Structures are given as C-alpha cells and as structure tokens.
Amino acid sequence: MPCYNLPTRTWGPYMQLQATHHGASVAGMLRVRSAVAWQHSRRSLGAVVVRAQPGPHQNPPAAVSNAWLVSQRAWVDVALNQPVELSGTDAKGAAWSSRVHVLGVAHNSAANVRSLHEVSETVKPDAVAFEEDTANNAWRNLVTKISQAAPMKRIITRLMDTPLTSYQQAHGLLSEEEREEWADVLKSAGVGLGPFSEDHRLLGMPTYSDPIAAAFIARKLGATLAFIECPDGRRMYAEALAKLQGELRGEAYTTAVWSRIGEAHGESLAASFRRWAESEPESKLLQRAVRTAMAEAVTPETTPITLKADPQTIVDATAQRERGMCRTIVDLCSGKLAGKPRKRVLAIVGGAHVAPLIELLKAV
C-alpha cells in the first residue's frame, strides 16, 4: 500500500461537499420522491439477495468506481501507517504513552463498517474515539444499545466480513429488507433519521453507520467508546452553517465546487462525474448519488483541494472543532477523560479533519 503524505495546512469543513452527511449538501436540502422497484429472492440460508432495477444512480462510470475504491484504501492506509505517538505525565507524575490512529470516513457511507473493521482488527484499540459531542452521554449510551440490537449485530457482522470491491458493490450490500431493519431499529430507539433518510435507503447507505459501527467495535473489543468533540466548536460550526445556507445552495458555490472537484480529481475523472450527472439531469436521486460518490472518492491528498470553495467562517469554525478534538484525544490518552491512560486509540472523524488533527496531535 502507498503511504499518503498528508498536507500540513488546516482544512475547511468536509460537510458541505459530503453529501453522505445528514447536514447540508451542495445541492441543498433535497427530499427524494422517486421510487425504486426491488425484486427479492431468498437463498436457502435466509440471506436476502436484492436485485435493483437498473438505474443511473446505481451505475457510475468505471473511472468513478475505481476512484472510489482507491479512496477507501487510502484512508485505511493513513490510519494504519501514520499513527501519532503521544506521551507525558499525569497529575500524579506517572508517565503515560499512547499511539493514536486517525481514520477518515464519509459519514453514513456504506463503506464505513468494513473500513473500521479493517483498522480495528490490526490496531486492537483500547479506546475508540468518535467525532461527536463530549457532553452527549445519552447519545453515546444509546448508540451502544443500538449497535447491540439483534438485527444490527447481524448486519454489521456481515458488512465487516465483506471486502469492498467497487462503489456499486458497497452501495448494494444491504438488501431492501436489511435497509428497513436498520431504519426500524433507529426508529424504535427514538432516533430521528434526518432529511436524507429516504436518499440513504435508496442509495444503500446505512444512516449513522460510523457511530454505530464504532460502538459495535468498541463493545466487541472491550474498548472505551469516547466522544471527542467539544460542544463550543460544534455550536460555532452550526451557527456559521446556518447563516450561510442560502449561499451554500447557490449556483456560484456549486460551480466553485465542480471546479475544485476537477482540480482535485483531474479533469478526466471530473468529466466522468459530469457525464454521470448529466445522464439524467432531472433525477434528484442521481444527483444525490453523484455527490455521494464525489465525497467518498476524495483521498487524504485531494480533500484539501475540494474544500477551497468553503467560506472563511466555516473554515474558522472547523479549525476550532479540530483543536477541541485534539485536546480531548490527549485527555483520553493521558487518562484524564476516561480514568486511566489508553495505549492504542482509534479516532474516527470525517475525512476533512484527518490531516489537521494529525498535525495538531504531532504538535502536542
């Protein structure tokens, strides 16, 4: 595997380009009304095989699918091969040392469960840290409970055991029945699915796949599950985002995003994305799929380029969030956060946070 040299500059927010997040996207808050017809057939062991009727949203160009697969490998490679070594002394003068592995994900991606599994099986973390509000103990407890529900355990275990081979394969891993089971578990737990829940279902994206998989793996390994984002940084980001909703939906911003995609991926790949989007320009589901693939196909090296279009207020708020995450990770490693020092920490964050977070940790 190649080793990706991460840039030292501070990145802006991933969320605006990341159509897989439950927040805003460059296309705006779109609700999908189109339906997809599904055919079900059952194997003798009870596994459901889903055959979706062919549709443009399910069939990206080969160049897009290949770029997507390269991206998944790249984030795992950084997590495994570029850990940060931390050490210090606690309040009582006792020495501690820790190794932090930072894994970048696209929130709600169908690839998250497998990626987390690959890294955790090698690292064997004694703490799993996730990009979520440190004060939200109720959500941490709830997501752990959700991860242990019988349907979730069955689905997650299968996703962990299934190697990723392409965008199409990853987004088709969940059968229609499993998609409904996933949503039903969340609903039963009182979890709001967000404005893009129907998009996620039709595109084969398990909503909240990253925190649920993180909780599942932490429980499986007997590791501490810790949330690492400071409330102030998250609030600052939400306020900045709310003030810019109109601008982020505008044509100028979308044009700038397309330009950065070309700069990051190369004009040939960007043209493949465009052709895919233009194959059915009126399909909101297809446009959502294209933006999902763009977000999931960036690598640690190309992500900073795709974020150049972001407003400065968003960039500043994101940097504040990353400083808070760094402080919390150090507290987790030293034992200040979880009662005792942790030797191997797996930190799971949106891809845009990986490079700045690694640089901040190195500077501790």
Nearest to 71 by CA among 111, 100, 34: 111
Q: Is the dihedral of CA 316, 319, 323, 325 positive or negative?
A: positive
Q: What is the predicted pLDDT for the residue at 250?
A: 65
Q: Is the dihedral of CA 146, 148, 150, 155 positive or negative?
A: positive
Which amino acid belongs to residue 348? Answer: I
| pTM metric for this prediction | 0.83
Q: For residues 355 and 6, is the Cβ–Cβ distance under 8 A?
A: yes
Sequence-ordered list of residues with C-beta below 8 angstroms from that of 203, at least 6 positions apart, any chain: 57, 171, 285, 288, 289, 292
262-281 residues labelled b (16+ CB within 10 A) or e (exposed):
bebbeeebbebbeebbeeee
DSSP string, 162-214: S----HHHHHTSS-HHHHHHHHHHHHHTT----TTHHHHHHHT--TTHHHHHH
Q: What is the predicted pLDDT for the residue at 25?
A: 31
Q: What is the pLDDT of residues 188-223, one digit of tens each?
A: 999 987 777 888 888 889 999 999 999 999 999 999
Sequence-ordered list of residues with C-beta below 8 angstroms from that of 146, at least 6 positions apart, any chain: 152, 185, 186, 189, 191, 212, 215
Q: For residues 76 and 296, is the Cβ–Cβ distance under 8 A?
A: no
- The dihedral region occupied by 190, where left means phi > 0, alpha psi between -120 and 50, and beta the remainder, is left
Q: Which residues of the chain have pLDDT under 70?
A: 1-55, 246-250, 253-254
- Tokens for 159? 């996703």
Q: What is the pLDDT of residues 6-51, one digit of tens each?
A: 443 333 333 333 333 333 332 322 222 222 222 232 233 334 434 4
